[in-house]
């Protein structure tokens, strides 16, 4: 078991490359537990840039919808799109993300094209959240030391703690979460951690049967509900189930931006992308008790998209954030 000094040595890359690889390979999901995950996150907190710890005050009443990635499947930016739907309903959204690591289009790859800045002045973030209803937090801004780890991680060829810890690094510490994972072992580990996490009132940790790290519209989604010191397991199948799987597509930021525009314009109300956005939005509405069930939440999402509320929220927030673009 690693001690706290060894954990800090890993995060600050104070070991040789050989020692780093050996240490990281001892941190595969099957060798982790919630206690070790908690100690890593405590060490990450020490790495936060000066002033960022104050952002945890923003988490009260806030929601984040995100995934760990790693499925290897072509991926539309469902959770990023979902963020605009949730904000259009009046929820406070604090989403932390990055550019793609294993995928071509991470949340900030899409946000770049949509006209949102990567970095924001810390002192302005609370006001921006109040004005727009959502704030996108660029992970490397808050944990700049992580960039040193990236080249080593890419050489490993194995999943480690860093493939699951990303969504938990949100400095705002949102009270509600829909957190997607792509394997059963990670699902249990993350859920166990969240039951012990101060400030987390309720979270869905979800995994599609096809390996997707979000609720899926074609097949079963396995949901672990985490609340303080309590875990509940369930299986959800979208109703009505889609009759066919999504057609193959190239998940580039450019393609995803076109899909995003069609969705928020209300021009697409049939595709798998539309169904996934409504479904994941519905789950988030249910987690936050804005809807009595996922199905009820799906209806709310569909109305917001069709009625133009999401488009209006998007345009408003883009105007608010435009002054921070370089």
Domains annotated for the chain, with CATH where assigned, are 59-324 (3.40.1030.10)
Query: Can you give the pLDDT at residue 160?
Result: 85
51: left (phi over 0), alpha (psi -120 to 50) or beta: left
Burial class (CB in 10 A: 0-12, 13-18, 19+), 326: exposed
List the structure tokens of 38: 């908690």
Query: Can you give the pLDDT at residue 244?
Result: 47
CA 257 to chain centre: 18
Strand order in the sheet with 134-138: 134-138, 92-97, 62-67, 176-180, 202-208, 220-227, 230-237
CA-to-CA distance for 182 and 215, rounded, in angstroms?
A: 11
- Nearest CA-CA partner of 263 in 286, 279, 240: 279
List the structure tokens of 113: 């094209």
- Tell me the whole-structure pTM to 2 decimals: 0.93
The segments of the chain whose pLDDT lies below 50 read 242-245
- Nearest CA-CA partner of 107 in 80, 133, 83, 146: 80
């Amino acid at each position: 078991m690693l001690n706290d000094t060894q954990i800090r040595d890993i995060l600050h890359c104070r070991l040789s490359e050989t020692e780093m690889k050996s240490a990281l390979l001892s941190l595969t999901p099957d060798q982790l537990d919630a206690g070790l995950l908690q100690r890593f996150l405590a060490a990450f907190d020490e790495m936060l840039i000066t002033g960022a710890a104050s952002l945890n005050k923003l988490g009260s009443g806030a929601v984040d919808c995100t995934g760990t990635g790693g499925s290897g499947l072509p991926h539309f930016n469902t959770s990023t799109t979902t963020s605009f739907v949730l904000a259009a309903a009046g929820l406070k959204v604090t989403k932390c993300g990055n550019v793609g690591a294993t995928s071509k289009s991470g949340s900030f790859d899409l946000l770049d094209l949509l006209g949102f800045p990567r970095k924001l002045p810390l002192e302005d973030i609370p006001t921006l959240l109040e004005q727009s209803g959502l704030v996108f937090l660029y992970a490397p801004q808050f944990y700049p030391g992580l960039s040193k780890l990236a080249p080593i991680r890419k050489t490993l060829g194995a999943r480690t703690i860093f493939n699951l810890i990303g969504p938990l690094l949100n400095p705002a510490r949102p009270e509600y979460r829909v957190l997607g994972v792509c394997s059963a072992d990670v699902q249990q580990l993350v859920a166990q951690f969240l039951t012990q996490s101060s400030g987390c009132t309720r979270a869905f940790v979800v995994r599609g049967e096809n390996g997707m790290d979000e609720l899926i519209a074609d097949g079963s989604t396995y949901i672990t509900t985490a609340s303080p010191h309590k875990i509940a397991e369930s299986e959800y199948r979208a109703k009505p189930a889609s009759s066919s799987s999504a057609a193959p597509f190239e998940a580039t930021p450019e393609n995803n931006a076109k899909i995003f525009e069609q969705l928020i314009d209300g021009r697409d109300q049939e595709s798998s992308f539309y169904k996934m956005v409504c479904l994941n939005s519905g789950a988030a509405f249910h987690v936050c008790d804005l809807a009595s069930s996922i199905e009820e939440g799906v209806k709310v999402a569909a109305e917001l998209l069709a009625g133009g509320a999401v488009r209006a929220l998007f345009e408003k927030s883009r105007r608010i954030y435009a002054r921070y673009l370089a």
